[in-house]
Structure 1
Amino acid sequence: MRGRDVAFAALFAALTAVGAQISIPIGPVPITLQVLVVLLSGLILGARLGFLSQLVYVAMGAVGLPVFANLQGGFAVLYGPTGGYIVAFPIAAFIAGYMAEKTGGKTGMIGGSLVGIAVIYLLGWLRLGLFLGGDFHKALLIGVLPFVPLDIGKAALAALIADRVKKATDLG
C-alpha cells in the first residue's frame, strides 16, 4: 500500500468523523452527513480503500476517540441503538465502490450507493430492533423510514460529487 493510499483513507476517516458532528437529532438515530461521506469514500477511493477508511473510522470510535455523532466514542456506542449503522459503514463503502468500479459511470455510482445505503439500513435496523427489545416494527418506523428520502438524495449527490472529483483529479 502506498503512502498516498494511507493518506486518502485517513482523510476519509476524518471526514466521516466531521460528518458525524453535523447532526440533527430526531430520536435515537440522528440525521448526519456520515452516510454521504461513507458513500463518497467508496466511490472516490474504490472498494478496497473506501472499506479501509471506514474501518479506520469505526476503530477510532471503538477505542474511545470522540468521532461518532455528538462527539461520542467507545464500544458502548457500537453496542447502542446506532451501532448497527456504524458497523455497516465499511461494508457500504466497499459495496458502493465495488459496484461503481464494475459498472462504471454515474448509474453504477448511484446503484452502488443505493445498495450501500440498503446495507446500512439493514444492519442498523437489526441492531436498533434488538436494542428496542425486539420491536423491529418500531425500529423500522424510527430508524429507517424517516431517512429514506434524504438518503436517496445523498446517493445522487455522492455520485455527482464523486464523478466530478474523479474527472478533476487523477483518482479516476
Structure 2
Amino acid sequence: MAAQPLPTTLASAFWPARDDAAGLARSVLLVLAGTALLTLSAKLKVPFYPVPMTMQTLVVLWLGAAYGSRLAAVTAIAYLLEGALGLPVFADTPERGIGLAYMMGPTGGYLLGFVAGAYLVGVLCERGLGRSLVGMGVAMTLGHLAIFAFGFGWLAMAIGAAKAWTLGVVPFFAATALKTALGAAMVPAVWSVVDKRRA
C-alpha cells in the first residue's frame, strides 16, 4: 500500500480535503468558521500599551498557517464581503458605520492586507515553515509586513506618509511583536502534536 502523503496544512491534517461534494462542504464550513473567528477577534480588545490590541491580525495569519494559501485567502475575502454587505463584522462596527463606508475609512488598507497576509503565510507554511519556531516566526513577520504595507499605503494616500507612519504603524509595534511571537510558538506546537499522532 502506498504511503499517504504528508499533510501540508493543519486543516488537512485534522480534516483531509476531498474532490467531491463532501470536500466542497468542508471548504464552506472552514470558511464560515474562519470568518466567525475573524469577527470575534475584531470585537475582542485586550488592554495594551500604547493602544488597545485586537487579535485580528494574529487570527488572519493563523488561518494562513492552518488553511493554506488559497483557502485562507478565500476566507479573508469572504470576511470582507460580509462587511461590505453591511454585517457588523469589523472592529468598532456598527458604532463607526458599516459596509463600504467603513471599509473606505482609515482601516481599509489593513482590511485589504488581510488577504495578502493570509495568502503569504499560507504559501510559506505549505512549504514547511510552519513546523519550526524560526520558520513560523519568519512567516508571521512577513505576513504582518504585508498587512502593514497595505495599511500604511492606504493611510499615506489620505494623510501623508509621515502621519501614516506615526499613527498607523508605530503604535502597533509592540502588539505586533507579541502576536508574531505567539504565532511562532503555537503553530509548531500544534504540528508537533499532529506528528506524534501520525508516528
Check whether TM > 0.5.
yes
CA distance, structure 2, for counterparts of residue 137 and residue 94 of structure 1: 28
CA distance, structure 2, for counterparts of residue 52 and residue 110 of structure 1: 23
CA distance, structure 1, for counterparts of residue 93 and residue 37 of structure 2: 14
Residue 150 (structure 1) aligns with: 175
CA distance, structure 1, for counterparts of residue 40 and residue 112 of structure 2: 17
How far apart are 1:148 and its partner, in Å? 1.6
Residue 139 (structure 1) aligns with: 164
Deviations 1:30-84 (Å, cap 9, x if unpaired)? Answer: 6321101001100111111111111111111111100000124301111110000
30-39 vs 138-147, greater mean Cα deviation:
30-39
Residue 153 (structure 2) aligns with: 126
Point out where structure 2 has 5 or more consecutive residues left out of the alignment. 1-18
> Under a length normalisation based on structure 2, what TM-score does the superposition of the two structures give?
0.76
How far apart are 1:18 and its partner, in Å? 0.7
Change in Cα spacing, 1:30 to 1:86, as seen in structure 2 (3 Å) is: farther
Residue 40 of structure 2 corresponds to residue 15 of structure 1:
no
CA distance, structure 1, for counterparts of residue 89 and residue 138 of structure 2: 28
Among 186, 191, 197, the alignment partner of 1:161 is 186
CA distance, structure 1, for counterparts of residue 126 and residue 147 of structure 2: 20
Residue 144 of structure 2 corresponds to residue 117 of structure 1:
yes
Contact 1:47 1:98 in 2 (8 A): yes
> Under a length normalisation based on structure 1, what TM-score does the superposition of the two structures give?
0.86
CA distance, structure 1, for counterparts of residue 162 and residue 68 of structure 2: 35
CA distance, structure 1, for counterparts of residue 126 and residue 158 of structure 2: 36
Contact 1:98 1:112 in 2 (8 A): no
Contact 1:44 1:166 in 2 (8 A): no
Residue 76 (structure 1) aligns with: 101
* Greater share of helix: 1
Residue 126 of structure 2 corresponds to residue 101 of structure 1:
yes
CA distance, structure 2, for counterparts of residue 138 and residue 17 of structure 1: 28
Residue 80 (structure 2) aligns with: 58
Deviations 1:101-158 (Å, cap 9, x if unpaired)? Answer: 21432222221111111111111011112222xx210110110011122112211212
CA distance, structure 1, for counterparts of residue 126 and residue 189 of structure 2: 15
Point out where structure 1 has 5 or more consecutive residues left out of the alignment. none
CA distance, structure 2, for counterparts of residue 37 and residue 164 of structure 1: 16
The size of the alignment, in residue pairs, is 167
Residue 112 of structure 2 corresponds to residue 90 of structure 1:
no
Deviations 1:10-31 (Å, cap 9, x if unpaired)? Answer: 21111011111113699xx963
